Structure 1
Amino acid sequence: MLTFSQRQPPHTDVLVTITLSLNAEERTRSRHKFTLADGKEVFLRLSRGTVLNDGDILTDETESIYMRIIAKSEPVLTAYAEISLLLRAAYHLGNRHVPVEITPTYLRLSPDAVLAAMLTQLGLEIKEEIVPFQPELGAYGNYSHA
């Protein structure tokens, strides 16, 4: 089993020979065994608290094998509205400690009927989608790519 323990900048000019597709929750696991599409197993042994992003590159312990992380599409709710409604909705979702992807044009969260009803009541348009999900890390999240 290959063990990957180091993260490289996402645009490192190296020959990537392995890709690993992970959903948002899986990209928060710094120490975990995953099975690749071909059945081979890889183990992540990263610094605790590491959150992987789409495009990140990991190296094995010998720095001879490179693996790219791909954000896997997953079911999400995408909420659209004008910016003032998005800000109100982000405030209410934050009060509930809900992982949210925040952009200037939409909010994205994991499917939840109660939250969808709340957002609709606030005036947002909700769309069910299956797309990559990259929630905010929070005020104390690990934002570095080093």
Structure 2
Amino acid sequence: MFRVISRSDHHHGEIDDAIVLPYEMRQRGRFRVSSKTGLDVGVFLPRGDVLKNGDCLFTECGKVFRVEAQEEEVVTAEAKDWLTFAKACYHMGNRHVPMEIGERWLRFQPDHVLQEMVELFGLECQQHQAMFNPESGAYHGGGHSHGHSHDEHHHSHGEHSH
């Protein structure tokens, strides 16, 4: 088994093989999968990072695997104008569901309640097979470390009047 121990969103060298993964699998830090050429690959990455289409995975022995998003069942909802689109995105965002956003379209995993809601705003929905690459969110890491700590910190915030 080839053990993946790190990832990057870019790589300028040669790619040895690829693994094709649905969104649900790309959210996991540890899993085992077969590559496109049938190699046994074990992924051992920090939990919390979501693999994206095109990411490169590096093994202990130097092999490089490219991540390919698998087509899966999704709902794509299209708006005729930007105001309608903005309202739909606002309400979808309040539900904290994974969502991919394009120009006047949004994509989410099939859910009849969400589909009915965006249709009430006037968006046209289509359920179909497509790659699903949702936004990572404002509070989710972008696949790299910023070198900050969540430990206690001690410094003055100035005088506060109460």
* TM-score, structure 1 as length reference: 0.90
Matching residue of 1:43: 42
What is the CA distance between 1:87 and its match in structure 2?
1.3
User: What's the RMSD between the two structures over aligned residues?
Assistant: 1.6
> SS where residue 23 of structure 2 aligns?
coil
Percent identity over the alignment is 37
Tell me which stretches of 4 or more aligned residues in structure 1 moved more than 4 Å: none
Assess, with a 3 A threshold, how the Cα gap between structure 1 residues 22 and 48 changes in structure 2: closer, same or farther.
Answer: same
Matching residue of 1:128: 127
- Do 1:7 and 1:145's aligned partners in 2 also have CA atoms closer than 8 Å? no
Matching residue of 1:85: 84
Which structure 2 residue ranges, 5 or more long, are not aligned? Answer: 146-162
Partner deviation per Cα, 1:44-76 (whole Å, 9 max, x = no partner): 1112211111111111013x2010000111111
Matching residue of 1:76: 74
Matching residue of 2:6: 6
Greater Cα radius of gyration, structure 1 or 2: 2
Which structure 1 residue ranges, 5 or more long, are not aligned? Answer: none
* TM-score, structure 2 as length reference: 0.82
What is the CA distance between 1:38 and its match in structure 2?
4.7
The structure richer in strand per residue is: 1
Paired amino acid for 2:22? N
> SS where residue 138 of structure 1 aligns?
coil
What is the CA distance between 1:36 and its match in structure 2?
3.0
Give, in whole Å, the separation in 1 of the partners of 2:133 and 2:120: 25
Give, in whole Å, the separation in 2 of the partners of 1:49 and 1:119: 29
Aligned length in residues: 144
Partner deviation per Cα, 1:71-122 (whole Å, 9 max, x = no partner): 1111111010122111111111122221111122210000111211111111
Mean Cα deviation higher: 66-75 or 29-38: 29-38
